[in-house]
Amino acid sequence: MLVSATGFRLGQKWSWYFIFAWFVFYVIDALAYFSNVIDTPGVPIPLPNLLFGLGLLLPYRKFFPKKQLANP
């Protein structure tokens, strides 16, 4: 929550990478749960995972704008 309230709101790239890493860990945990590799307490629900991923993709251009070509 602290990253979302500070760096993510300001559009800092490090915060997008941090939250993306958290998302990847969450997806790996969900895949491990469904493949019975680990026994986690709780059931990961696909809808929050999709919303989480969508929430990262929507502001992607804010964090990584297209490069402007210099006019000669």
36-68 per-position pLDDT tens digit? 766 656 656 677 778 888 888 888 888 888 877
Q: Amino acid letter at 41?
A: P
Asked if residue 67 is part of any domain, the answer here is no
- Other Cβ atoms closer than 10 A to 18: 15
> 26 lies in a domain?
yes
Assigned domain for 69 exists: no
Domain hosting residue 56, numbered range: 2-62
CB–CB of 18/3 below 8 Å?
yes
pLDDT at 66: 82
| Total tally of structural domains belonging to the chain | 1
Percent with pLDDT over 90 in the chain: 1
- Residue 38 within a domain: yes
Residue 18 within a domain: yes
**Top-confidence residue, 25 or 49:** 25
Q: Scan for tokens 């997008």, then name that residue.
A: 16
